[in-house]
Amino acid sequence: MTVDWFVVLTPLVLVVVVLPFVFVGCAPFGSSPGTTATQPPDDVATQTTFRLEMDPNLQQDLTNPLVKIEVTWLLESSTGAAPTIVIPTPPEKITTKQQPPPDPPVIDPVKDTGVSAKVASADIGPRDQVRCECRNTQSNNNTGTAKSEAVPLEKGKTYEFRIQSRRPAQAGFRVYHNGA
């Protein structure tokens, strides 16, 4: 009795041709039967980052140099449709990291680092602008606040602000968005 090769090879060819089509539309590994995998919305997976850096000449020409900067970012709605979100709570603090600390413990804008905060882009909601606010404490315990102008807010981006002294022309400090 001879084997009819047509009868043996036809099922093998059909398996090779049909098998890839059987897997089209299957759920990914680890999912329950009857469910479909979906991607999270883009703004859920992304974060918006805010940073404050110090100008290298921040302490120049100051009789009473800075010893502490408390930093917050205000996420606002230009139409007033949503309440302002203040991040982080409590504020980030810039103090000297030098060991041993100088006396008084003044901030060195070259050696000490700035601060940053992140927020999930989905939590921003209808807010469309951001400001950076710095509460500054000098070595004589005088305090003051410097706030940047409002900057248009886009989800998923990094916003870098910078603080600098207004001296010798004026007293106080200036916070601005440097375009990063």
DSSP 102-133: PSS----TTTS--EEEEEEGGGTTT--EEEEE
pLDDT at 107 over 90: yes
Q: Which CATH architecture has domain 42-177?
A: Sandwich (2.60)
* pLDDT score recorded for residue 33: 54
Q: What would the pLDDT profile of 36-81 be if each residue is shown by its tens digit?
A: 555 555 444 589 999 999 999 999 888 899 999 999 999 999 988 8
* Contact (CB, 8 A) for 127 and 75: yes
In the chain, domain spans:
42-177
Q: What would the pLDDT profile of 154-167 be if each residue is shown by its tens digit?
A: 999 999 999 999 87
Q: Taking residues 129-157, what's their average pLDDT?
A: 95
AA identity, residue 154: E
* Contact (CB, 8 A) for 124 and 147: no
pLDDT at 177 over 70: yes
Supply angle C-alpha 173, 176, 180, rounded to 5.
145
